[in-house]
Structure 1
Amino acid sequence: MAALIKRTTAKGGFAVPNSPLTAGIVPNRLAADAYAANFSDLQPVYDQHEARVAADRCYFCHDAPCMTACPTSIDIPLFIRQIATGTPDAAAKTIFSQNILGGMCARVCPTEQLCEEVCVREVAEGKPVEIGRLQRFATDGLMGKGVHPFTRAVATGKRVAVVGAGPAGLACAHRLAMKGHEVVIFERRAKAGGLNEYGIATYKTPEDFAAREVAWLLQIGGISVKTGVELGRDVTLAALQAEYDAVFLGIGLAGVNALRAAGEDLAGVRNAVDFIAELRQVADKSSLPVGRDVVVIGGGMTAVDAAVQSKLLGAQSVTMVYRRGKARMSASEYEQDHATGAGVRIIYGAAPVQVLGEGAVEGVEFAYTVEGPNGLEMGERFTLKADQVFKAIGQTLVGAPIAQEGAKLVKRAGMVWAGGDCAAGGEDLTVTAVAEGRDAAEEINAVLMGAMR
């Protein structure tokens, strides 16, 4: 656990050590073989027998609540019945027809809050059909054969630009290519995949699954990907509109919210998303330095992923601090339990007041919070020792080139569409981004082919 250094009722009262604690942020905290074990597959895929047994638990409900709860509206009873009857490849096609990134979603979807939460078995017995694991069994099986279940329609001669190669952009591009349109994806980073490639815990998607899924998706044909191209820097929206028949923006949320607390610019304080991306891309996990006492500020999936992976890298003490109560935390209860099971301490109802240290972080002062008539009210203060702090308090839209609704893009402005996290209504979920990219593609296709305006 992170050390509770001192309770205070006012700012200050923190003794600063003589030597900077960033010396504690070091690589190779664990034995060499521990890294492979810690970052291996979190939940291995079912074998054929296990899948048949799990599928037999499904009631195949006619008015399936699980299907309604799925943002991509996969016909869950159908694909589970197909597994139960020994046709898993057909089950995979059922899944991919609605969610072309069904393999990734099977790994990272919060199924405990979506389809499995409303499963009749969950309601009646407290143990749902394991829909996510069944979905992975089917999708991994078909993808493992190198088989792509769809073919392109006859070429339409229409060209669409997709900005962003994340889940929304990839889903949009695939559906447009399947309709016969030519698609060019522009991605600012070195690899396609977006959140799936750079923003998800390594142990959830080992063995470069995100990259392998992108390569498999592109087998549909008609899609080219240009990496290292950033909207606003290398290409403008006006130029894309002039060259292409339609444009889809799936640019995600590239900005990171600030703590707005004194000391957040000290050495040892960094954005959790950058840490997760670095961990996803580094070849040798042991080379990535981590602190001895790590504090993660935030309550979402990014915070959980940063905290758990800090522990897996060998941090001795990892504490997540969230400003509201457990029920308000955006990370699911399953993920919270996973974090605590990995040795992460979670403190609810506390907000950062200031980051402490001289040149480098040495601790963080927090105040306990209570819900008041005017929002959160600060109470008693305490300080946690820290030589490394990760900020995970949300991301923001930057470089928005079309009309906005609040802080997000509207989903259509003329012949420009938007979807995923950058669009109004985005939920910071891979599956929701896939649904929005797919649905935008259907609308784009209808407009380009004259079926709607």
Structure 2
Amino acid sequence: MSLQPPVTLVSPPQDIDACFSDIHPPLTERQAHLESARCLYCYDAPCIKACPSDINIPSFIQQIHSDNLQGAAQTIYSSNILGGSCARVCPTEVLCEQACVRNKEAECAPVLIGLLQRYATDHAEFTGHPFDRAPDTGKRVAVVGAGPAGLSCAHRLAMKGHQVEIFEASEKAGGLNEYGIARYKMTNDFAAREVEFVLGIGGITLHTGQALGRDLSLAELQSGFDAVFLAIGLQGTRQLGLENELASGVQNAVDYIRVLRQATDLNGLNIPQHAVVIGAGNTAVDIACQLRRLGCEEVTLAYRRGTESMSATDHEQQIARDHQVRIKTWCRPEAITLDDQGGVAAIHLRRTAMQGGALVDLPHCDVLPCDAIFKAVGQTLEMPEDAQLEQLRLDAGKLAVDTRFHTGLERVFAGGDCTAVGEDLTVEAVQQGKLAAESIHQLLITQA
């Protein structure tokens, strides 16, 4: 059952907005009914084990098949309060759907779990919020960061009866869902509507434009609250270390995606005609495909190793190919050439190969003419200055936490992309926020 639509690309002055419609159209009622019937409702369901947020997948699919959409959504939200956005961006093809036993059947096709999850969360209608708050405990928790981890933690703590205040540096809440996901994956202001849904439980106060280190410090939060949860994400971008890297035509992919996501008029964007994307993850694919949808004539994605080593899933790589993105492997950026006006003119890509288990340079170097270069080589944790975070331990450049997501500092916890736990996935961040909330709750109820 293939639901992947053909990719239609346009160039200005045509309607660019039409090119950013949903890449995965939602299931119709009939499609959802037929697809839910394919689930075998396994007793020892491997799909649940493959889900980072422990959603009872067979249960919610059975509820969809029984036309109990409210029950299905409640099952999803009880494990993942951001189940709507995760249904859109989660790499289900390498998680729950890869584990589906239907892959072993004659049709070799998994149940479309992600689309069924979206169907339930999109169509369920609740009177009020689906969860009630416990009686007020009188405890106050500060959550720094309103991304998936912070929102998940705040919601679970509010459900337990605690008062929560979220401090978000940006103008809007949502984190990567609002600013960092490809526009064609998260459409129609869904991220903002999901934030409203999460806050709907009550007991949560959101402060935007409040940055750690600029407007508040960790010491202030520790003294003013009973516990602190850090969900500050990854703010920095790794650099290429090349001369001319600061030229105007060289940009961080996440910065361009942020501008693209917030743009009200896509026709007003500065769109290159020949772009090179350096990287091999989902962000690299997202920026490459969006450039093509904007009308960029040629987009090349360059990676130093082979496609089998790319962190972007096979599914994401195929999306790039469907957008006619050229994937050039076994090459690394070596130099950036500028034109007479100081703009990007070309990038020099040194050929690479694996020899004796090590990546080595080869004699040949390719020169690709281009007018823009986008860096998507990974993000890094930037510890805010004047935030009094010196006592926090680091692990592989990220915040170190124990199994309870405790940082080692008194009453300070952390989760999401800023920690060294798990993978940098939205669903992982949601799970970490939820588990950290449970740990914080246990701490608070034992305090006098």
Bin the TM-score by the shorter chain: over 0.9
Letter paired with 1:406: A
Structure-1 residue corresponding to 2:368: 384
Is 1:447 aligned to 2:446, yes or no? no
Give the Cα separation in 1 of the matches to 2:127 and 2:348: 52
Structure-1 residue corresponding to 2:349: 366
Structure-2 residue corresponding to 1:428: 424
* Secondary structure at 2:97 match in 1: coil
Q: C-alpha offsets along residues 287-316 of structure 1, whole Å, 9 cap, x if unaligned?
A: 111101011000011100100000000000
Q: C-alpha offsets along residues 351-375 of structure 1, whole Å, 9 cap, x if unaligned?
A: 1001111411111101121123463
Structure-2 residue corresponding to 1:24: none
TM-score (normalised: structure 1) = 0.91
Letter paired with 1:437: G
The answer to whether the 8 Å contact 1:369/1:377 transfers is yes
Query: Which deviates more from structure 2 when the two are superposed, residues 371-380 or residues 233-242?
Result: 371-380
Letter paired with 1:403: R
Structure-1 residue corresponding to 2:414: 418
Structure-2 residue corresponding to 1:3: none
Structure-1 residue corresponding to 2:399: 409
Q: Please, which of 59, 65, 74 is the counterpart of residue 55 of structure 2?
A: 74
The answer to whether the 8 Å contact 1:353/1:366 transfers is yes
The answer to whether the 8 Å contact 1:198/1:280 transfers is yes
* Secondary structure at 2:228 match in 1: strand
Q: C-alpha offsets along residues 302-343 of structure 1, whole Å, 9 cap, x if unaligned?
A: 100100000000000011011111111111100110111011
* Secondary structure at 2:195 match in 1: helix
Q: How far apart are 1:29 and its partner, in Å?
A: 4.5
* Secondary structure at 2:94 match in 1: coil
Is 1:60 aligned to 2:34, yes or no? no
* Secondary structure at 2:79 match in 1: coil
Q: Please, which of 154, 166, 178 is the counterpart of residue 197 of structure 1?
A: 178
Structure-2 residue corresponding to 1:174: 155
Q: C-alpha offsets along residues 146-195 of structure 1, whole Å, 9 cap, x if unaligned?
A: 75211111000000000000000000000000000000000000000001
Structure with more contact order per residue of length (Cα contacts < 8 Å, sep ≥ 6): 1
Q: Identical aligned pairs, as a percentage?
A: 51
TM-score (normalised: structure 2) = 0.92
Give the Cα separation in 2 of the matches to 1:405 and 1:381: 36
Give the Cα separation in 2 of the matches to 1:167 and 1:375: 37
Give the Cα separation in 2 of the matches to 1:372 and 1:248: 45
* Secondary structure at 2:349 match in 1: strand
Is 1:258 aligned to 2:242, yes or no? no
Structure-1 residue corresponding to 2:22: 41
Give the Cα separation in 1 of the matches to 2:14 and 2:129: 38
Letter paired with 1:293: H
Q: How far apart are 1:438 and its partner, in Å?
A: 0.3
Letter paired with 2:350: A
Any stretches of 5+ residues in structure 1 without a counterpart? 1-27
Give the Cα separation in 2 of the matches to 1:78 and 1:197: 30
Is 1:396 aligned to 2:380, yes or no? yes
Letter paired with 2:420: A
Q: Which aligned pairs between 1:32-431 and structure 2 lie closer than 5 A?
A: 32-33=14-15, 35-124=16-105, 125-142=107-124, 147-358=128-339, 359-373=342-356, 375-379=358-362, 380-399=364-383, 401=389, 402-411=392-401, 412=406, 413=408, 414-431=410-427
Q: C-alpha offsets along residues 356-414 of structure 1, whole Å, 9 cap, x if unaligned?
A: 11411111101121123463111121011110110000000011622212311122122
Give the Cα separation in 1 of the matches to 2:433 and 2:104: 32
Letter paired with 1:441: A
